[in-house]
Amino acid sequence: MKQIKTTQGAIDIHDLFYSPQDRIARFAEMQVHLYRHDVSLQDYFHALDLDMFYTQGCVPSDRGSTNPLATWSFHAADKVSQILKPRKFKTGILFSPTPYLGGRKTEDRFLVRTLLGLAQTGAEILCLLSVHAPFRQELELELTAAGCRKQITFLDPGMPFNPVERRMRTIAARLRGRADFEKTVQILEPHRLSPSRSALTHFERTAQYVEAWERLAPSIEFDAVVARCHWYDLCSSVCRTAMERGKPVITFQQGVITHTTDFPITASKFVAFGAPSASVLAQTNRRFFDAVGIPEPPIDYFHVGSLFDTLLPLPDQFSLQTILIVDLHSVPGDSFGTEGGTQALFRLAKELLAAKLPLRRLVIRPHPNWSNFDLEACLKLVRGHRDVCELSHPIWPLEDDLRRSSVVVGILSGVLTVASACGLPTIFLQTEKGFTTRDLACFSPAQTLLPEAAFCEVSRLLTEPQSYAEARKVALRNGSEYYASGTNAVLDGAFFTRLLSDESVKNARPRHLS
């Protein structure tokens, strides 16, 4: 990937990410231009990400314009509708969890564990949670059982102050989204980076969260913010408000670092899996601010282990002679350049099934977003090898698939990092000039293999107990580097008390918090 040139600097990420496509580089350049113009446009980086990486069409935007007089008249009427203000809140910790609820059980569980851990600090907590959260009742029961329900106040940021304001807020969000989209296009057009018209839908959705928070923010006083991820919708604007008020902000690593949405980091303390991820994030963040031309805010990085996936101490499972193929999926337009890897992974599965190996089972576990993936080829493979091959489902617990597997193979999935840390021989399938991220460099070279070498290695692991035992040691060692000491993060009261302490971020970074 080439260095990205901007008018006032360059953001150099070629040694951190490599892709045969140019979209990561282009997206990073978009971020620099927008942030330099208006830092609040960071709220829309996720919307641009969805358009840039997951939209097939690249139709340039016909910017259009809104009617200034109509917009002014609406905002005047909107102010009248807000005469009845929301109640005032004063809290110790403002917690902004993921706004994308009910999609993955591991994420739902992470929210529960975080809230329970924060409660154990004894602080008063205001949690921004929708009344429609699918596990809200379960959460209430757990908090009551733990004896900390009274410490926590739930507030739905999308709930209007009154019936009139409900209608006005919807219109305001739409106007804000369109105005910010037009501003984005205006900034990026001279650099030939204008988003497609389809991005407007994503902007309007994001604007709903921004509008909701900005109406609430003046009514909320807090001492610190804890947010799931600084670039998620809602979390982004909450974190920025806290930073503007000079309050400490704690956010967490979202997953394997595969592109540039992760920076700039809007937090004073960042909780990462381990040293490799913290190093990549620290370097990209520093280079981003160098490119923008402003000082980088100080950030304290903490290494804590696996945040949401469970690392199991699995025994030697050579005798199971089962291969787990993970995260087969396709992305429209092959934005990252992973299509070749996905095809190579599928070919490897076919070759392993056709070879005369002591293979009892080959399990294919598609990516959670498998709606984007044509499963017909997988189903055909399963039907052709009914006695050996089966299709798992991403809604089933990952731990169950790991417990019945001997070897795990994939491209660059977080499932692979988990499997390796659990002690399973794991292969990160690589293709010539395929996508790579330095976040996973600790798994090279022994576990990162080209297709032919991967086939030979899997064959060896299914037939040679000693080779299997050696591969387990390598997997555990590398997994222990990726996740701090190869452990699960303990999100208890002691953990959050240390994070929320008044220590200055001038402390040596990154830090290992165990």
pLDDT one-digit tens code per residue, 295-327: 999 999 999 999 999 999 999 999 999 999 997
Reported pTM: 0.88
Q: Is residue 86 part of a domain?
A: no
- 302 shares a domain with 425: no
> Which CATH number fits the domain that encloses residue 409?
3.40.50.2000
Q: Is residue 297 part of a domain?
A: yes
Q: Is residue 465 part of a domain?
A: yes
- 285 shares a domain with 200: yes
Per the structure block, which two tokens stand in for 348?
Answer: 């490897």
Q: What is the pLDDT of residue 341?
A: 80
Question: 507 by DSSP, 3-state: which?
Answer: coil
- 304 shares a domain with 398: no
Sign of the dihedral through C-alpha 505, 508, 512, 513 = negative
Domain count, the chain: 2
- 291 shares a domain with 349: no
Q: Could you tell me the maximum CA-CA distance found in the chain, to the nearest angstrom?
A: 77
- 414 shares a domain with 282: no
Output the CA torsion 128→131→133→138 (10° steps). 100
CA 371 to chain centre: 19
Output the CA torsion 430→421→499→111 (10° steps). 90
Assign 3-class secondary structure to 108-145.
Answer: HHHHHHHHHHHHCCCCCEEEECCCCCCCHHHHHHHHHH
The span from the first CA to the last CA of the chain, in angstroms, equals: 36
- 366 shares a domain with 431: yes
Beta strands across the sheet bearing 448-449: 389-391, 361-365, 322-326, 407-410, 426-429, 448-449
Q: Is residue 118 part of a domain?
A: no
Angle at 97 between CA 96 and CA 101, to 5 degrees: 140
Q: How many CA atoms lie within 13 A of 24 on its CB side?
A: 29
User: Which residues 6+ apart lie within 8 Å of 265 measured at CB?
Assistant: 230, 251, 281, 285, 299
- 57 shares a domain with 27: yes
Domain range enclosing 453: 318-482
- C-alpha to C-alpha distance for 398 and 106, rounded to whole angstroms: 10
- 322 shares a domain with 223: no
- 192 shares a domain with 54: yes
Q: Is residue 121 part of a domain?
A: no
Q: Which long-range contacts (CB under 8 A, 24 or more apart) does 485-488 make?
A: 485/305, 485/512, 485/514, 486/305, 486/311, 486/421, 487/305, 487/306, 487/311, 487/514, 488/305, 488/306, 488/310, 488/311
- 294 shares a domain with 180: yes
**Local mean pLDDT, 10-residue blocks, the chain (514 residues):** 45 84 85 96 93 58 55 51 72 94 81 95 95 86 92 91 76 92 95 90 95 94 97 96 97 90 94 96 95 95 95 97 84 62 89 95 82 70 92 88 97 94 97 88 96 97 98 98 96 95 43 44
CA 470 to chain centre: 32
Q: Is residue 101 part of a domain?
A: no
Q: Is residue 25 part of a domain?
A: yes
Closest residue by Cα to residue 288 from 23, 27, 22, 53: 27
- C-alpha to C-alpha distance for 379 and 321, rounded to whole angstroms: 22
Q: Is residue 200 part of a domain?
A: yes
- 286 shares a domain with 324: no
Q: Which long-range contacts (CB under 8 A, 24 or more apart) does 147-153 make?
A: 148/116, 148/119, 148/120, 151/119, 151/122, 151/123, 151/124, 151/125, 152/115, 152/119, 152/125, 152/126, 152/127, 153/89, 153/91, 153/124, 153/125, 153/126, 153/127
- 340 shares a domain with 445: yes
